[in-house]
Amino acid sequence: MEGKNYINGSFINSASDEKFESRNPANCDEVLGTFPLSSGQDVNNAVSAAQAAYDGWSRLSRIKRGEYLDEFTQLLKKDHEEISRLVTKECGKGIVEGRADVTEGIHMCQYVFGTVRMPHGDVVDSEIPEKDSFMRRKPKGVVAAITPWNFPFAIPLWLVCPSVVEGNTVVLKPSRETAGTGQKIAEYAHKAGFPPGVINVVHGGCGDLLVKHPDTHVVLFVGSNDVGSGIKQVVAGFHDKMCACEMGGKNALIVLDDANLDIAVNAAIISAFKTSGQRCTSASRLIVHEKVLAEFEKKFVEITKRIKIGDPLDECVFMGPVINQAATEKIARYNELAKKEGAKVLLDGGRLTGNEYKKGYFMSPFVYRMQNNPKIRVLREEVFGPHLAIIPVKNIDEAIEVHNGTDYGLACAVITEDFRKARRIRDDCAYGLGYVNLPTIGAEVHLPFGGVKKSGTGLPSASTLIDVVTHRTAWTVNHAKEIKMAQGLIVKL
């Protein structure tokens, strides 16, 4: 694949000659595509195109804008399998998950399309009977969407679809690791016939240029806390720019003493090892009541040992590779750190070196038991890989304290048969996505998606992104023949 910038409705060469490659992490030699390292000039051109398109696009009816999305959806559905295979090859997650990623992206298109004939504001009463008041939404302008490699299809569509249906125009900057999937999104947007400039795509490491650009009005970011914190600082310097950032987690699954242990073990394995632990919703902590610890741990370790790791295009594989060499090094460093910090290692996982694994970044699960302690880094920092701590607790109070003892707050799951205990977890744990008798992963697009503390800016995306990409305006109309004011203000001239 020879990638290009997609600007103003055309696939064009970059103003710079610099290029980068997207490679298959399961097979490091395979180059999937070459892409331009988009330059400052490319970014300026993309933002200008988005700005120029804004006037016409925002004046169309929402229903008309939705129809472009309907066309887009039909094309994506036809090529579902082909796109899923590309997703799997680029980011290494198993094909079943590659398909789910594409399905989730399509769900966002369908959701957004479904909203266009639904009520879109509020009719609000006034103190004055002759006044009618309304909340009406207006688009914000040019949206910059900077997206990660772990959901290379769904997350760009989470951000792009609500933005454009509300009348904004977009410049998307997909992750370098999965630039090919970003390119595909541009190709389908083109085929769907979106007017030039409504959706633009640039590549490489130019995200900061989009953030700093004076003519981008909203920055949507999903990725690490380090990058997101930098974005928040830059955005604070502009009077007319805001950002919504989703920034990872140190998520936990809590297993209480009355838990159904089959559900607990399965939920724990899915939470910790799907996508090789590389979701921002992945659990890296299992907080387990000491009464069930021995039985849970035994079953969990037994099944984890049997997890099939290998070629992600193989339907039976549970875990593909991690994304790149740097990820293997980071995970290995945290595995070592856990040992230094006093972990009782239950499965000493790490980089796999056997013949079938030689060409890729395959890692097996590293599982340990450890008492909670606020000083221990491995129990607090995000690892983003198959690295998992089992933390014993004496009761639900301690489980909540341990759960909340990190700087993050994205996904929380509890396994219990007791509705009162589930309710305490619901009310006293800090999270954005909570689950009962389910894993920490697997959110659906029509729910809000976002966390608290270091996990997010409190402006969740997915369905609730509408609040980020629109400005809620108040519109009040007087039907009396004179002016009548609220708050008892007397009008005497």
For residues 151 and 366, which CB has a smaller minimum distance to ligand UN1 in the complex?
151
For residue 465, state whether it binds ligand UN1 (rule: CB under 6 A).
no
Segment contacting ligand UN1 by CB under 6 A, of 65-73, 181-189, 208-216, 279-287: 279-287
- Under rule CB under 6 A, how many of the chain's residues touch ligand UN1? 10
Q: Compute the distance between CA of residue 375 and CA of residue 50 in angstroms, rounded to an integer.
A: 48
Among 86, 222, 268, 383, binds ligand UN1 (CB under 6 A): 222
Q: Under rule CB under 6 A, which residues in 172-201 are in contact with ligand UN1? A: none
At closest approach, how far in Å is the CB of 280 from ligand UN1? 4
For residues 68 and 149, which CB has a smaller minimum distance to ligand UN1 in the complex?
149
Ramachandran category for residue 39: left, alpha or beta (phi over 0 → left; psi -120 to 50 → alpha): beta
Torsion of CA 114, 115, 116, 117, to 10 degrees: 80
Among 99, 279, 403, 421, binds ligand UN1 (CB under 6 A): 279
**Rounded to 5 degrees, what are φ and ψ at 473?**
-105, 150
CA-based torsion, 347, 348, 354, 360: positive or negative: positive
**Based on C-alpha coordinates, what's the Rg of the chain?**
24
Is residue 280 within 8 Å of 410, Cβ to Cβ? yes
For residue 443, state whether it binds ligand UN1 (rule: CB under 6 A).
yes
For residue 257, state whether it binds ligand UN1 (rule: CB under 6 A).
no
287: Cβ–Cβ under 8 A, 6 or more apart, which residues?
252, 253, 254, 255, 391, 393, 399, 402, 403
Ramachandran category for residue 437: left, alpha or beta (phi over 0 → left; psi -120 to 50 → alpha): left
Amino acid residing at 31: V
Is 280 noted as a catalytic residue in this protein? yes
DSSP 323: S
For residues 101 and 257, which CB has a smaller minimum distance to ligand UN1 in the complex?
101
Segment contacting ligand UN1 by CB under 6 A, of 78-86, 190-198, 368-376, 440-448: 440-448
For residue 441, state whether it binds ligand UN1 (rule: CB under 6 A).
yes
Is 246 noted as a catalytic residue in this protein? yes
- Beta carbons within 10 angstroms of residue 164's beta carbon: 25
The single residue of 246, 382, 412, 429 carrying the catalytic annotation is 246
The single residue of 91, 161, 280, 412 carrying the catalytic annotation is 280
Segment contacting ligand UN1 by CB under 6 A, of 41-49, 256-264, 334-342, 437-445: 437-445
Site string for ligand UN1, 131-170 (x = CB under 6 A): -------------------xx-------------------
For residues 93 and 212, which CB has a smaller minimum distance to ligand UN1 in the complex?
93
Give the long-range contacts of residues 340-348, CB within 8 A, separation 24 or more.
Answer: 341/370, 341/376, 341/377, 341/378, 342/370, 342/376, 343/368, 343/369, 343/370, 343/378, 343/389, 344/368, 344/369, 344/370, 346/297, 346/301, 346/390, 347/301, 347/304, 347/305
Q: Compute the distance between CA of residue 424 and CA of residue 419 in angstroms, rounded to an integer.
A: 9
For residue 227, state whether it binds ligand UN1 (rule: CB under 6 A).
no
For residues 104 and 257, which CB has a smaller minimum distance to ligand UN1 in the complex?
104
Site string for ligand UN1, 374-413 (x = CB under 6 A): ----------------------------------------
Burial of 20 (0-12, 13-18, 19+ CB in 10 A): middle
For residue 95, state whether it binds ligand UN1 (rule: CB under 6 A).
no
What does the block give as tokens for 203? 């590549």
At closest approach, how far in Å is the CB of 150 from ligand UN1? 5
For residues 39 and 178, which CB has a smaller minimum distance to ligand UN1 in the complex?
178
For residue 225, state whether it binds ligand UN1 (rule: CB under 6 A).
no
Mind telling me the catalytic residues?
246, 280
Summarize as ranges the residues that interact with ligand UN1 (CB under 6 A).
Answer: 104, 150-151, 222, 279-281, 441-443
